[in-house]
Structure 1
Amino acid sequence: MTTTPENTHVYVTTAIPYVNGDPHLGHALELVQADVLARHARRRRRPVRFLTGTDDNALKNVTAAHAAGVDVREFVAANAARFAALREPLQLSYDDHIRTGTDPRHAPGVRRIWRRCAANGDLYRRRYEGLYCAGCEQFYALEELAGGRCPEHGTAPERVSEENWFFRLSRYTDALRAVLESGRVRVEPAARRNEVLAFVRAGLADISVSRPADRAGGWGIAVPDDPAQVVYVWWDALANYVTALGYGSTGADPADGGHDDHHDDDDGKPFRTWWVESAERIHVVGKGIVRFHAVFWLAQLLSAGLPLPTAVYVHDYLSVDGAKLAKGVGHAADPAGLARRYGSDAVRWWLVRDVARIGDTDFTVDRLLTRHDQDLANGLGNLVHRTLTLVHRFGDGVVAGPWATGAGGHPLVIAADALPDAVDRALAIFDLRAATAAIGAVVDQGNRTVEGERPWELARRATAGDTAAAAHLANVLGVLVHACRALAGELEPFLPAGATRLCDQLGDGAGVGRPEPVFQRLRRL
């Protein structure tokens, strides 16, 4: 991650999911990815704010509640609680969780952004007829459909005719192209950036940003000064990134003739700190909603005169046993259930180590178990266990440290000391797989060092009076402990629970703890 001399604050957000069903493993992927970024920045001593939440105001929530025969408010509250309950099983460290339907910060901020865009001449009302996908809550042009079906859900959109408020997205074509081409807003991976740029370069059409209140059953945020319409769920939902910081909660709205205080907010001025002045404002989102975040949201902010995010990090999709993930797909995709059965370390490690940066990834329990046992139990866990065993057997639980004669140039020390930079470079381009691969490479080198240095033979020679062997043994043990401590530290953003157990055993001084298995094998290989 980049830093500036003036400010090193990092604001990390996830998309907020609809709550028309239970959370699945795809939601866990995004939450864990964002959590890794937040924890990593904190580890680098940067001030961090990490936000997640739920989208309560979607019309599909209303549809799902009616289908279940449940009051909409009760239905939404129950499902939102299930998303919030992922915090403990996934070991998430978010600082804030917003529910757009009940959080008092949200609606005032949405209305303020609406009024600012209206004051800028970017909102107008007209009748519209188009093809609408209820799953996406989005209108599609005919040429965007694959065989007449939504490219995201594979269903045929319904033809809808209604009068809505429209946003002049077309006015921002050139500005958005400049923002994306210059890297002022980075979209990673580059393939997703290129897709967004192609969409913008083709020319942007104005978009509908409201729905009739009757069709929404009164659910959602009323359009300012037009209660017959509710704000389109995406316009509403995207604003959570700033409303959660207090934007719009206090002060006069400059669009209403008041003092221009749109950079002011509640106690502590979190909006100014984390949005206006923050060095990095990062959105972590799925590939299906890149257009909303890297086009519509940016235009919305430009119209309202607000700062843009600095990066949009995009992940691809997961499938389970070859089937596309969706709410209600079954227990195999239940992240909390997987964590209860196999542990948060196993679930988090699979998500950060196995999921491809580009292209969809298929999840199976077999792959989760294999990855955990190979990398954690047989790899890192084995290295730490054998290192501590050697230190207690041949060094009475005390190490001289890698600063002993000749140890500073040891290849394993060099590799361990280079690990933070390798992790930094990988996460700066949202490549969690590369970051965890760098950790794995040092683990492999550590295990090869044990086999190559053969401390037990050095100990035998030292016992026989070989002083050179005794000195070399002390160096080797110090090198191994140094590498294990470096690995445990860099592992913390990815596996906070497992890393804590490793650090407790390894200590931070000359003495080390007794070896205990940190990563129990989940099955016999």
Structure 2
Amino acid sequence: MVGPQPYYITTPIYYVNDAPHIGHAYTTLACDVLARFMRLDGRRVKFLTGTDEHGQKVEKSAQAAGMDPQAFTDKVSLNFRDLAKTLNFSNDDFIRTTEERHVRACQALWTRLKEAGEIYLGSYAGWYAVRDEAFYDESELRDGPGGKKIAPSGAEVEWVEEPSYFFRLSAWQERLLAFYEQNPGFIGPASRRNEVISFVRSGLRDLSVSRTTFRWGIPVPNDPDHIMYVWLDALTNYITAVGYPDTENKDYSTFWPADLHMVGKDILRFHAIFWPAFLMAAGLQPPKRVFAHGWWTNEGQKISKSVGNVIDPVVLADEYGLDQIRYFLLREVPFGNDGDFSRTAAINRINSDLANDFGNLAQRVLSMIHKNCEAAVPRPNALKAADEALLTAARELFDRLRADFGEQAFHRGLEAAWQVVGDANRYVDEQAPWTLRKTDPARMNTVLYTLAETIRHLAILTQPVMPESCARLLDQLAVAPEGRTFASLGPDGALAPGTALPKPEPIFPRYIKPEDDDSQKTGR
């Protein structure tokens, strides 16, 4: 008997030289929504996140804080673990690159690459950006203030000369191009795929994969004067978490290759070029897909600590509501594009899409059922064309969401869901159940049942995005926990007439600015 189809999704592991911000939350949120969606779709999910704790940047940050690097990473890593709990992320594992299991995996991968002749000892002289943990070619740099050289990312680079091991990346140029051609869905979105292919076609140089000028990292096997380049260390986390180097264990054989690595666009090159080359050179399978999303600005301004406009996701959730912010971040901007966080836009989504459209639909339908149907699921009679049309739209929504979410097009899936919300609101106005209560109570029952079934579908399908709110809504429909998966969609899982329903409570309150709230309290 074949078990549930596995699904392995990862966030990038987050660098511990800074506090969590909206960018971290956005990436993990997208992964959380996909993980929840796949679980509801009956798949066996492994959802991984964690922290990247080695490298020169961390060593410098620890020194600046007057702390030992391990104590520093222990403290900051906890902030990311706490963020996952606070924002209701459902990750199955949290990996730290300072863990023994990860050291073991990295050294095993290194040994395999060395034995395959893919790593050799030489010396490195070139430009290195500590902030990016990346090497740059002279042609990529521009002149900055004070005669400094600046990388394309805006980071300062420094000239580094030291002994180094190299990975034979140049030998993988044609094989990578062939891999991209054979796997057109490997990189998303399409614009990012084109960027990567163009970069690889322009020529690849062998990659320095060890450092000797600092100590905070994983020692190179049999040569402890060298530590591993932080990106070789960091990328390996994805196979560490499934038990590598034991490729015969159940987790590795079940979940590798990963279905999706979700990353920010700034680290796509490492994931779409270096990582598949490392894996294929070691005789391992590359992941199935890497998706690079865009960056957020704040009210039109680039986010930076120096400007003081960093967005704290916990503060956002406290102010606007956790599910409301989850919805806004995935609905407002086509996923993969850059987006601008605007308080006005967030409030509009919360008050229009959630409070007015979905929330008001659920509240008025459930209130009418509570008042006019003895607080129980009404018993429908023969359905008319309008009823069938609405139910068909609700039932067809699953296939649309499965396709859109499978392509990481969250905004498209949510647009489709809100088309059904709009259909249901128009249906309420056209059918006018408050009038039918007096003229045709049997028809009123059918209309309210059709609406309750539509709301059931919407609540089940939007659970991955707004898990707490949808759980409360499904509670109000008396849907049992086992009836909340996608297998319960359609007629087979339909609401049973006569089922007692609790008194309805609003799910999505309107957002009222604090000053507006104060003026109302004081009567001004």
TM-score (norm 2): 0.89
Match of 2:472 in 1: 501
SS in 2 for 1:302: helix
Counterpart code for 1:84? R
Corresponding residue number in structure 1 for 2:355? 377
Asked whether the 8 Å contact 1:331–1:337 carries over to 2, the reply is no
1:234–1:394 Cα change, 3 Å: same
Match of 1:344 among 322, 332, 336: 322
> What's 2:150 paired with?
149
Shift in Å, 1:197: 1.3
- Following superposition of structure 1 onto structure 2, how do residues 63-462 of structure 1 map, counting pairs within 5 Å? 63-101=60-98, 103-146=99-142, 148-152=149-153, 154-183=154-183, 186-212=186-212, 215-216=213-214, 218-248=215-245, 262-265=246-249, 269-275=250-256, 281-326=259-304, 330=308, 333-400=311-378, 404-406=382-384, 410-462=388-440
After superposition, the C-alpha distances for 1:335-363 in whole angstroms (9 at most, x for unaligned) are: 12222233211221121111332431111
Residues 269-324 of structure 1, C-alpha deviations (whole Å, 9 max, x = no match): 21121115xxx521000000111111100000001111111111111111223333
CA deviation digits over 1:42-88, x for unaligned, max 9? Answer: 01001000000000113211111212222222221111111110122
Q: Is the 1:407–1:479 contact (alpha carbons within 8 Å) kept by the matching residues of 2?
A: no
- The superposition leaves residues 121-147 of structure 1 with CA deviations (integer Å, 9 ceiling, x where unpaired) of 110111121111111110111222355
Which residue type is aligned with residue 175 of structure 1? R
The match for 1:466 is none
Q: Residue 471 of structure 1 aligns with which residue?
A: 442
Bigger drift between 386-395 and 322-331 goes to: 322-331
Say if 1:500 and 1:407 are closer, same or farther in 2 by CA, change over 3 A.
farther
Letter paired with 2:203: G
CA RMSD of the aligned region, Å?
2.0
User: Any stretches of 5+ residues in structure 2 without a counterpart?
Assistant: 144-148, 480-495, 517-524
The Cα shift of 1:34 comes to: 0.3
CA distance in 2, matches of 1:60, 1:201: 31
Deviation at 1:410, TM superposition (A): 2.2
AA paired with 2:448? Answer: L
Moved more, 131-140 or 335-344: 335-344
Q: Secondary structure at the match of 1:165?
A: strand
- Residue 487 of structure 1 and its aligned partner are, at CA, apart by 0.5
3-state SS of 2:199 partner: helix
3-state SS of paired residue (1:87): helix
Change in Cα spacing, 1:514 to 1:146, as seen in structure 2 (3 Å) is: farther
**Count of matched residue positions in the alignment of Structure 1 and Structure 2:** 490
Aligned residue in 1 for 2:485: none
Matched, 1:11 2:12: no
Tell me the SS of whatever aligns to 1:86.
helix
CA positional deviation for 1:329: 6.7
For the residues of structure 1 that align with 2:362 and 2:199, how far apart are their CA atoms? 50
- Structure 1 residue 519 and structure 2 residue 508: aligned? yes
Q: Deviations over 1:127-181 (max 9, x none)?
A: 12111111111011122235552222x1331121222111001111122112211
CA positional deviation for 1:389:
1.1
Inter-partner Cα distance in structure 1 for 2:387 and 2:422: 18
Moved more, 335-344 or 40-49: 335-344
Report Cα offsets for 1:235-272 as digits up to 9, x if no partner.
00000001111212xxxxxxxxxxxxx5224xxx2112
Do the aligned residues in 2 keep the contact of 1:388 with 1:513 (CA within 8 Å)? no
- The 3 A distance-change label for structure 1 pair 242 and 63 is same
Structure 2 counterpart of 1:70, which letter?
M
Where 1:410 maps in the other structure, the secondary structure is helix
Offset, 1:332 = 5.3
User: Is 2:4–2:44's contact at 8 Å kept on the other side of the alignment?
Assistant: no
Structure 2 equivalent of residue 481 of structure 1 = 452
Letter in 2 for 1:438: A
SS of residue in 2 equivalent to 1:74: helix
With 394-403 and 106-115 compared, the bigger mean Cα shift is at 394-403
1:85 is paired with a residue whose SS is: helix
Task: Measure the CA separation in 2 of the matches of 1:224 and 1:30.
Answer: 33
- Paired residues of 1:184 and 1:310 also in contact (CA < 8 A): no
| Structure 1, gaps ≥5 residues long | 249-261, 463-469
Q: Which moved more, 1:314-323 or 1:85-94?
A: 314-323
Deviations 1:452-489 (A, max 9, x none): 11111111212xxxxxxx33222211110011000100
Distance in 1 separating the partners of 2:96 and 2:438: 64
Segment drifting more, 296-305 vs 443-452: 443-452
The letter for the 2-side match of 1:340 is: D
CA–CA separation in structure 2 for the residues paired with 1:51 and 1:233: 19
Q: Is the 8 Å Cα contact of residues 381 and 445 (structure 2) preserved in structure 1?
A: no
CA displacement, residues 7-66 of structure 1 (integer Å, 9 cap, x when unaligned): 720000000011101000000000000001100000100100000000011321111121
Cα distance in 1 between the residues matched to 2:418 and 2:142: 41
More divergent stretch after superposition (501-510 vs 410-419) = 501-510
Distance 1:292 1:397, change over 3 A: same
Distance 2:261 2:306 in 1: 26
Structure 1 residue 6, shift from structure 2 partner: 8.2
Q: Identity rate of aligned residues, in percent?
A: 40
- Contact 1:89–1:339 (CA under 8 A) maintained in structure 2: no
| Equivalent AA in structure 1 for residue 59 of structure 2 | V
